[in-house]
Amino acid sequence: MEEEKTNKREVTNIELEFKDKEDIINLASKDEFVSLVMNDSLDAIIEGINGDLDTVDLFNILNISVMIKLEKSNFKPVLEKITQYYAGKEDYDKCIEIQSLIKQLKDA
């Protein structure tokens, strides 16, 4: 039986404080939170591609005991979403870097 390959980077721990659904919606619209999610997701996927990992751990939501993982089959669609984020920020160098990662996935 083949051992599953997983990432070794330190997973970002997040603690969500909310009273109601609206608090979560507000958090999801804050640029600093979105930036954290996009940057850390990209770092995890880069490690996943470079290490030929089957899954990567993205975030550990501490106060609800949830580990968010991403399977290799979902790297490309998530990278495409991250590209849209960076295009909106007009960070075209990052977009080029991500397109190179998508090409690596296609060529693998």
**Complete edge-to-edge strand list for the sheet that includes strand 66-71:** 12-14, 55-61, 66-71
Q: Is the pLDDT of residue 67 over 90?
A: yes
Going by C-alpha positions, the residue among 97, 75, 101, 72 that lies closest to residue 86 is 97
Please identify which residue in the block is written with the tokens 């991403």: 70
Q: How confident is the model at residue 1 (pLDDT cuts 50, 70, 90)?
A: very low
Mean pLDDT of 26-42: 94
What is the helix (H) or strand (E) element at residue 102, kind and residue range?
Answer: helix 92-107
Please state, in angstroms and rounded to a whole number, the distance separating the CA atoms of residues 45 and 40. 9
User: What is 23-70 written as a DSSP string?
Assistant: HHHHHHT-HHHHHHHHHHHHHHHHHHHHTT-SEEEEEEEGGGTEEEEE
Band the pLDDT of 50: cuts 50, 70, 90: very high
What would the mean pLDDT of 81-103 be, rounded to a whole number?
97
pTM of structure = 0.85
Rg (alpha carbons) of the chain, rounded to whole number = 15
Q: Are 14 and 33 in contact (CB under 8 A)?
A: no
> What is the C-alpha separation between 54 and 11, in angstroms, rounded?
16
Mean pLDDT confidence for 1-27: 78
